[in-house]
Chains A and B, each alone.
Chain A
Amino acid sequence: MRAWAYMLGGLIVWTVHFFAIYIAASVFPGLPLGHVLTLLITLACLAADAWLIVRLRVPSGGDDFREWMRKLALVGAGISAISVLWQGLPALIV
């Protein structure tokens, strides 16, 4: 399980972000609180992604397979950061 969480960490952050902002927007429809919560959740998830990226940048020192997992996780976290930002942007513009 730990290995999967390691490999999919970035994508899990993205999922948590998506559902959290969806719930925030549905529970407070049309209210400024919905926007504020969205921004806060987005910042928190971006921080989580940044933390993942910093940790994953260092080579694991393991064999080829371990390195393969690390690289997959690193790119996943990068993609997640961009997606989280993209997904949170509507709170600033609508």
Chain B
Amino acid sequence: MSSETGFDPALYDRFPTKGERPAGELKQLEDIWCKPKGWELLTAVNNNYIGFFYVATAFAFFLLAGVLALVMRVQLALPLMGVLPQETYNQFFTMHGTVMMFLFAVPAMEAMAVLLLPQMLAARDLPFPRLSAYAFWAYAVGGLCFFASLFVGLAPDGGWFMYPPYTSTTYSPGINADFWLLGIGFIEISAIAGAIEIIVGALRTRAPGMTLAKMPIYAWAMLVFGVMIIIGFPSVILCTLLLELERAFNWPFFDATRGGDPLLWQHLFWFFGHPEVYIIFLPASGLVSMVIAAVNRTPLVGHNLIVLAFLATGFISFGVWSHHMFTTGMPTLSVSFFSAASMAVSVPAGIQVFSWIATFAMGRARYNTPTLFLLGGLITFVIGGLTGVMVAMVPFDWQAHDSYFIVAHLHYVLIGGMVFPFFAALYYWTPMTSSRALSERLGKWIFWLMFAGMQVTFLPMHLTGFMGMPRRVYTYLPGRDWDLLNMISTVGAFLFGAGVLLFLIDCARNMRFTTDNDAGNVYRGGTLEWLPTGLYSTRSIPVVKSRYPLWDDPDLPKDVEEGRYFLPNSATGLRETIVTSPLRAEPQYVQIMPGPSPWPLLAAIFTAGFFMILTIQAYYTAFANGVLAIACILRWMWDTDRLVPDKKVDVGAGIMLPTYRTGPGTHGWWAMIILLIVVGMIFTMSVFGYFYLYGIHPQFWIKPPDVTWLVPILLGHGGGAGLAILARYMLARENTELWTPGVLICCAAASLLFGFGVDCWNWTAHGLWPTASGQGAIVYAFQSLQGILVFICVLMAGYLSARNSRALIVCPRNNTMDLVVMFMCYTAVEGIAAALIARLFPGPF
């Protein structure tokens, strides 16, 4: 067998080890990973807790958005009903859509991953537990504040995709739209934090021997999900930022009368928005693929094809954004490309559906509640998929656009593709976190109520749409033959609601959260999450030899529990897990993990506070919150990246692994690369905006400043990068003075600041202001993005110097130093690219 890292795979044969493990090891593990008590729960960072809180919170948002849906259905049950006035109806459908998409669907999927992934990969926890805690709290606190805007009549009302010019200050003068734009801000941060966690977790904390070929299909789905968030979310981060800049400071990105263009919003939003649908669907599909194999007691048919389908979806879904814009008058050839891609993207979905059907055919399905939800989801999703192919045909879409046909289509896809699989997963995995399984008898009732409710609500909507009823209308006149269909839909919605209510009753009766006394493998799954676990996850980390280790090695649970595999104890006396290589999962080093801390919670509260208070224009208070959030984050980071006394430790069977690593192989390095991809994507999308605006309205553009000004700008940025690299180099030299690296890093930050300052000054001196035109707005958008990066560099320089002064920057290599240098180099490159683009294209014409 070949090796990826030089690790000898023959060493795996030493496991399971023979002989008794020393007494006291288990006790030590339990002490180190002890349960939080009382208020300490708020400081918990362990995935068992955070994952559970996260799933519960996401579910609560599903309920809240569901209540809004029911009220809307009451309003639409009969013509000219007076339950919701027009403005409130607008707020309701906007909040329903936004909460379902941003506060339920995506977070619910991240939440499941936080709960399940470490268990499935047999890691002790995800690689950055405090980041998960931060992501969760920012989402929970911010989400609740966001939802509360509804009670004071300030909820956003521009639809879940907030098209300008309708959402510009001219047509939406109140602060409702700002709530949306800033409210989505912290959700984006939380989603990206979660995605970093998931990608690094799936690639670097798998159990030894679990090559990519043996990785559970769910982990594959989550990996692609994470990457899609990293590529897709930057686009919505950018467009919300631009629209907020337009609303707050009158920078005309989307104002066609001043060289902006409202369609730029649609491009940016849908470049995120359509992949978003797959971002929701892929993890659900991963869940389905896991549960289907278990309930059929047979390996998933077409596992490799499904992996490929996930990957293909990840790619193709970024080529279909414009199919939401078929009616906007794009060039015919472009429209046909998007139409073709939209049809092509149904192929991977088809592969998955056929694989599932084949798995049902191969196995002996037991028709329990998870199976019913799987089948119900499959049928519903296929119907939604078919209407999706219908609307991918441009002439058909011209007719169906913005009608109730679309409302039916999107609910079929979302409920069939995500909600039903989510319920299947809740039934299937509850015994992993609860001391009692959920009730099978009630479960069947719940399924049939929800399934029937779904069909009764949304099937007639296809017809309502064909009969001309537009979406987003708060009422309609009698005599159009829409009355009966709408009444049927409302009855269906209440059936669905009754199913959900019964589910709550089932949870109240049976769900008993536990970390060490769970109901166990009720449905006989074959993957690692069904090993016996405590808060430290599995007692020892097994060597994985197949895709369904529990089916193939019935002794595995016993051996794992007796500590016969990797890390049967705490090798360093701290929380730790094994970091493995990305392809073949060969053990590389022991990662020390941070324990409970109040800082992620506080940082999250202040982050949410910053965004929310900004909305009500209390700028000083918002600013103070921002500063506090940064202070809390820095404080939480302060404890990390420390050396432990033992450089190498025995992780079982005499295999020694280092406890500290630096360079490209480390989990921190990976996280930074992913973060830089996010930042790079934000910049790339703004470059798209730049060329787009020039392409649409060149008449508004003026000549850029003289190119000789590029010299000091490039010198500033290039010098910054050079000094940062020099600092890293100096750290490795033996005779370096203690203070040298810190001082050099500060000089690097100053140099970057200089480059940035000259760039900004040059444009203002040239007479171009951000409010002047689309060009001004987008040029200053470059500057704003660069300003944020330079600000972070200055913070990092201060932080690194502080660590340096406390001798925490250890020679010859140090992770904090490496990451700061990477960030600074990236900042320099982006600064140079922005300066060049804005001056050379379209150039001094």
Contacts and interface: CB of A to CB of B under 8 A. Distances in A.
Interface of A: 3, 8, 11, 14-15, 18-19, 21-22, 25-27, 29-30, 34-35, 38, 62-66, 68-69, 71-72, 75-76, 79, 83, 86-87, 89-91, 93-94
B344 A25 contact: no
A18 B331 CA distance: 16
Given A63-B1, A64-B213, A79-B312, A91 B341 contact: no
B654 interface: no
Contacts of B333: 25, 29-30, 34-35, 38, 90-91, 94
A83 B317 CA distance: 13
Contacts of B308: 72, 75-76, 79
A65 B211 contact: yes
Nearest to A12: B315
Contacts of B344: 83, 86-87
15 contacts: A3-B583, A11-B312, A11-B315, A14-B315, A15-B318, A25-B331, A29-B331, A35-B333, A66-B2, A68-B212, A68-B213, A71-B304, A76-B312, A90-B333, A93-B336
A63 B315 CA distance: 28
Nearest to A3: B583
B359 to A, nearest CB: 19
A83 B316 contact: yes
Contact of A30 (B331, B341, B343, B584): B331
A26 B696 CA distance: 11
Contacts of A22: 319, 334, 337
A21 B315 contact: no
B332 interface: yes
Interface string B331-360: 111101101110110010000000000000
Nearest to B333: A25
Given A68-B212, A75-B308, 9 more contacts: A11-B311, A11-B312, A30-B333, A62-B2, A65-B2, A68-B213, A72-B307, A86-B343, A90-B333
B328 to A, nearest CB: 13
Contacts of B695: 26-27
A65 B583 contact: yes
B337 A68 contact: no
B304 A90 contact: no
A77 B344 CA distance: 15
B305 interface: yes
A21 B2 contact: no
A66 B337 CA distance: 35
Contact of A26 (B315, B318, B331, B340): B331
A75 B305 contact: yes
Interface in B166-216: 211-213
Nearest to B305: A75
Given A14-B315, A64-B213, A65-B211, A26 B305 contact: no
A90 B308 CA distance: 26
A15 B275 CA distance: 14
A94 B334 CA distance: 10
Given A30-B332, A90-B333, A65 B316 contact: no
A62 B3 CA distance: 11
Nearest to B211: A65
Contacts of A27: 695
B394 to A, nearest CB: 10
A79 B305 CA distance: 11
B332 A94 contact: yes
Contacts of B584: 65
B311 A89 contact: no
A71 B307 CA distance: 12
A86 B337 CA distance: 9
Nearest to A64: B213
Nearest to B331: A29
Contacts of A38: 333
B216 to A, nearest CB: 15
Contacts of A66: 2
A94 to B, nearest CB: 5
Nearest first, the 6 closest Cβ-Cβ pairs linking A and B are A90-B336, A29-B331, A68-B213, A25-B333, A18-B319, A25-B334
Interface in B288-313: 304-305, 307-308, 311-312
A69 B315 CA distance: 18
Interface in B578-598: 583-584
A25 B578 CA distance: 50
Contacts of B212: 65, 68-69
A21 B319 CA distance: 11
A34 B339 CA distance: 17
Contacts of A29: 331, 333-334
Given A8-B311, A65-B584, A71-B304, A90 B337 contact: yes
A6 to B, nearest CB: 11
B343 to A, nearest CB: 8
Nearest to A79: B312
A42 to B, nearest CB: 11
Contacts of B331: 25-26, 29-30, 34
Given A18-B341, A76-B311, A63 B2 contact: yes
A15 B318 CA distance: 9
A85 to B, nearest CB: 10
B316 to A, nearest CB: 7
A65 to B, nearest CB: 5
Nearest to B315: A11
B543 to A, nearest CB: 15
Contact of A21 (B337, B339, B347): B337
B724 to A, nearest CB: 23
A14 B316 contact: yes
Contacts of B213: 64-65, 68-69
Contacts of B583: 3, 65
A65 B315 CA distance: 23
Given A14-B315, A75-B308, A25 B337 contact: yes
B327 to A, nearest CB: 17
A22 B341 CA distance: 11
A26 B334 contact: yes
A71 B581 CA distance: 21
Contacts of A63: 1-2
Contacts of A14: 315-316
B334 A87 contact: no
Contacts of A18: 319, 337, 341
A62 B832 CA distance: 44
Contacts of B341: 18, 87
Nearest to B307: A72
B311 A87 contact: no
Given A3-B583, A65-B213, A79-B308, A90 B340 contact: yes
Contacts of B339: 90
A54 B87 CA distance: 61
A27 B694 CA distance: 12
A19 B334 CA distance: 11
A71 B336 CA distance: 32
A26 B312 CA distance: 24
B204 to A, nearest CB: 14
A89 to B, nearest CB: 7
Contacts of A89: 340
B695 to A, nearest CB: 7
B206 to A, nearest CB: 13
Contacts of B340: 86-87, 89-90
Nearest to A19: B319
Contacts of B316: 14, 83
